[in-house]
A and B are shown apart, each in its own frame.
Chain A
């Protein structure tokens, strides 16, 4: 079974709709992340959480919100979807590691979201 799972894998929705993307992990990692991938732009960080009670904005958080329901679950919401939020969304996790260090991230398979 995959260590990091995302649901749904594909979603088509309309402008103004509320959408939730879910992420679950079995790696036991404290740190979780949400990214979006757009062609030619690489991945951009939306939100990150270093433990259950910690939520932080990333580079492009406007229009998004998150919830860390448990160590293993981190969901991303689009309160009112707009077409320029059409993208590939990835959840990732990482181990905490030594204080002040950053370890490699493990990615889910992605959710392809289309907003019409």
Chain B
């Protein structure tokens, strides 16, 4: 069955330190992987995606993610966190498994402390 796991409900990091938000997935066929960010009282905003090609994907606001096929992971990273990065982050996977499916993870809340 198709699934997405974000194993951490919350990640705390100090401003200026690197951050990682974890995501693992399970899907039949080729995965289309996405990261979205949600600020309070707002809809989700697209950060980056992996479709094919280079395993390291660069996205908006200095974020990047690494696709690891053997570990079925797609962790979100940023070299230097900002207080303004504090938000709710969602990993999502889309696939054609006899019909379109998109599955979102439960979300990880990121707190960046000044």
On A, residues with C-beta under 8 Å from B are 4, 33, 35, 40-45, 48, 50, 56, 59, 90, 92, 100-110
Check if A50 sits within 8 Å of B96, measured CB to CB: no
B105 surroundings in chain A (CB, below 8 A): 42
Some 12 contacts from A to B, beta carbons below 8 A apart, are: A40-B9, A40-B107, A42-B106, A42-B107, A43-B90, A50-B100, A92-B44, A100-B96, A102-B32, A105-B46, A106-B46, A110-B42
Seed contacts A101-B32, A102-B102, A104-B34; 4 additional CB < 8 Å A-B pairs:
A40-B9, A42-B90, A44-B104, A103-B49
B43 located at the interface, meaning its Cβ lies under 8 Å from any Cβ of chain A in the complex = yes
Q: A106 to B47, alpha carbons, bound, how many Å? A: 11
Check if B49 sits within 8 Å of A90, measured CB to CB: no
Q: Contacts A42-B104, A43-B104: A90 and B51 contacting too (C-beta < 8 A)?
A: no
Q: A59 to B102, alpha carbons, bound, how many Å? A: 9
B46 surroundings in chain A (CB, below 8 A): 104-106
B45 located at the interface, meaning its Cβ lies under 8 Å from any Cβ of chain A in the complex = yes
Give B103 Cβ to nearest chain A Cβ, in Å.
Answer: 8
Residue of B with least CB distance to A4: B43
Q: What does DSSP make chain B's interface, helix, strand, loop or mixed?
A: strand
- Which B59-102 residues have C-beta < 8 A from chain A? 90, 92, 94-96, 99-102
B4 surroundings in chain A (CB, below 8 A): 42
B95 surroundings in chain A (CB, below 8 A): 102
Q: A89 to B59, alpha carbons, bound, how many Å? A: 26
Give A91 Cβ to nearest chain B Cβ, in Å.
Answer: 9
Residue of A with least CB distance to B52: A101
Contact of B43 among A48, A100, A108 (CB under 8 A): A108
In the A-B complex, list the 5 residue pairs whose CB atoms are closest, starting with the nearest. Answer: A107-B43, A102-B94, A42-B104, A104-B46, A43-B104
Residue of B with least CB distance to A109: B43
